[in-house]
Amino acid sequence: MSRFQDRYSLPTRSRRNTKETKIENFTLILPVMRNLKLKFDSNIAEKIMNGNRGVALRLLYQMKMALEKVSAPSLYKMSTARFC
């Protein structure tokens, strides 16, 4: 995500495995998810923290697709610039 400028960079998160730390970490990434226009709320965060199968994978896939949409126009400009 670092190649997508500062608007999508994640703040430093804590590695402790307490409930409070997990909530704090999800609160830190919430603005990034909103910037990417992803559905990310307390229900999804709770499912990930509880280890529900497939929830984190689905969120990662949505992030990948959103980041590709963000970078697609700049990649298109680069590819067409070579032919001009």
Q: List the chain domain ranges.
A: 2-81
Q: Are 14 and 24 in contact (CB under 8 A)?
A: yes
Residue 8 near residue 35 (C-beta atoms within 8 A)? yes
pLDDT in tens, 6-39: 444 555 555 667 778 888 888 888 888 888 889 8
pLDDT in tens, 35-82: 888 988 889 988 988 899 999 999 999 989 998 887 766 555 555 555
Can you give the pLDDT at residue 82?
Answer: 53
Non-local (6+) Cβ contacts of 62 within 8 A are 38, 39
What ranges in the chain are assigned the alpha helix state H? 19-35, 42-49, 55-81
Residues in the chain: 84
